[in-house]
Homo-oligomer: A and B are copies of this chain.
Amino acid sequence: MEFKVNSIELEKLLNKIIPAVPTRTPMPILENFLFEIKNGLLTIYATDLEISLKSSINVVSDENMSLVVPARLLYDIIKSFPDTTVKFLTSNNKLNVITDFGTYTLGYIEANEYPEIPSFPQKTDEDVQEISMNGLELKKAFDKTSFAIGKEEMRPAMMGTLLELSDEGLRFVATDGHRLVNLLNKKITSQGLIQYIVPEKAISVLQKILDEKDAKLYLSKSHISFKLSDIELITRLIGQKYPDFKGVIPLENEFSLQVKTKEIHDAIRRMLLFATTSTRRVKFSISASAIDISAEDIDLGSSANESVMCKYNGEPLEIGFNAGYVNDILSHMLPEKEVVFKLNSPTKAAIVVPSEEKETEELMMLLMPVRLNS
């Protein structure tokens, strides 16, 4: 087999595919790319058996064939070349990569040893939803929600982001039980209500490869395919029931605390330096015009106290939070704007929302309080 390709084009392609190559795996063959050449088109695949990535480029080749090559070594050597022609040649069960600089020889494996790649179901009788969405808008939705994805293997349904398609819109939800993010895109609607849980790995890869071009999503019961301009990601879905997040969202939070995002965020970052490392507890003492924010580390004998201006319409309230979680939430709000904390009592979940929103979007974060000592 022999084919030729430009080094820079191949590097760009491998750079997009390599995020699917697992770094630690009990199946070493997954540390390879699958190369398929068909009628002058080279299609490269990588998978960790949960997600798969594939993309193609034109190459100069007379034959059709497939082979499995070491992903990282190939990527590193291609990356090391300036703009040049790279010739691939198989001989004596070795793959020779030939450039003007020299010859690099890699072992390869027959394509039939490569495991089956997650692929989108071809059955026509299944109900497949189709969505088209701007790539950056989709990336932003993942960016705003993915930090709250659960990490506990015992609660697999929470180890991904929920995509819920209904007549309200396309909803993105992530929660780890301590905080919850709920982002509704009202521009994309659908009859009925369908839920898909996309695993964290697929989302973290998509955050790297989504760009300003449109993305097409094909959603089935078991898989989603994300077709971007030059690459396709297919992921298995988490086959679990997502927890009833709507039931958790309090409706009686009538106390509204409005504050400049940057001011409270700066204060929280300083509190994190002083809060006990294990609990990261910070106390909000809220009155009509100011929040008194405090943290202490009894072991170190250090403490901090700040006052942040606010507008508050409720009864004076003392409530504790994990400062790390507050920091996460504020990091996903626009710093130049204001946020509103909707509160009820020291033991009820707080709701955090931006003070202004686009008509087509609704963002809501929920944060569980922590018990105060006093």
**A73: CB under 8 A from chain B?**
yes
| Contact indicator A270/B300 (Cβ below 8 Å) | no
CB of A266 closer than 8 Å to a CB of B: yes
Is A274 on the interface with B (CB-CB < 8 A)?
yes
A302 vs B74: C-alpha distance when bound (angstroms): 11
Complex alpha-carbon distance, A102 and B307, angstroms:
6
**Contact for A306 among B102, B269, B303, CB less than 8 A:** B102
For A270, the closest partner residue in chain B by CB is B80
Residues of B near A293 (CB, < 8 A) are 102
Assembly CA distance A300 to B77 (angstroms)? 15
Q: A273 interface residue, CB < 8 Å from B?
A: yes
Whether B107 contacts A302 by the Cβ 8 Å rule is: yes
Closest B residue, CB atoms, query A269: B80
Question: Is the Cβ of B302 less than 8 Å from the Cβ of A73?
Answer: yes
Q: Does A304 contact B (CB under 8 A)?
A: yes
B105, A302: Cβ atoms under 8 Å? yes
Q: Chain B's nearest CB lies how many Å from the CB of A326?
A: 16
A103 at the interface (CB under 8 A from B): yes
A305 to B102, CA, bound (A): 5
Residues of chain B within 8 A of A372, CB atoms compared:
none
Question: A301: which B residues are within 8 A, CB to CB?
Answer: 94, 105-107
A93-134: CB near B (< 8 Å → 1, else 0) gives 010000001111111000000000000000000000000000
Contact between B77 and A270 (Cβ–Cβ < 8 Å)?
yes
- Let me know if A273 and B307 touch, CB within 8 A: no
Could you say which residues of chain B place their CB within 8 Å of the CB of A106? Answer: 301-302
Per-residue interface assignment for chain A, residues 298 to 318, with 1 indicating a CB less than 8 Å from any chain B CB and 0 otherwise: 001111111100000000000
The reply to whether the CB of A76 lies closer than 8 angstroms to some CB of chain B is: yes
Counting chain A residues whose Cβ lies within 8 A of the other chain, the interface size class is: 20 to 34
| Docked complex: A168-208 residues within 8 A CB-CB of B | none
A267 interface residue per 8 A CB criterion: yes
Min distance, Cβ A238 to any Cβ of chain B, angstroms:
36
Q: Are A80 and B304 in contact (CB under 8 A)?
A: no
- Tell me the bound Cα distance from A70 to B301 in angstroms: 11
A93 to chain B: closest residue by CB: B301
Q: Are A101 and B306 interface neighbours, CB within 8 A?
A: yes
A101 touches B302 (CB 8 A): no
Min CB distance A209 to B, Å, is: 25
Bound Cα distance from A94 to B300, whole angstroms: 11
The contact string, 1 if C-beta is below 8 Å from chain B, for chain A 314-336, is 00000000000000000000000
Contact partners of A73 in chain B: CB under 8 A: 273-274, 300, 302
Beta-carbon nearest neighbor of A273 in chain B: B76
* B305 in contact with A103 (CB, 8 Å): yes
Task: Tell me the complex Cα distance, A20–B320, Å.
Answer: 37
Per-residue CB contact flags for chain A residues 261-290 toward chain B (1 = under 8 Å, else 0) read 000001101100110000000000000000
Which residues of the other chain, B, contact A80 by a CB distance below 8 angstroms?
A: 266, 269-270, 273
Name 14 extra pairs, CB < 8 A, besides A70-B300, A77-B270, A102-B306.
Answer: A70-B302, A73-B300, A73-B302, A77-B304, A101-B266, A101-B267, A102-B305, A103-B304, A104-B304, A105-B301, A106-B301, A106-B302, A107-B301, A107-B302
Mind listing 28 A-B residue pairs with CB under 8 Å? A70-B300, A73-B274, A73-B300, A76-B273, A77-B270, A77-B273, A77-B274, A77-B304, A80-B266, A80-B269, A80-B273, A94-B301, A101-B266, A101-B270, A101-B306, A102-B267, A102-B304, A102-B305, A103-B304, A104-B270, A104-B274, A104-B302, A104-B304, A105-B302, A105-B303, A106-B302, A107-B300, A107-B301
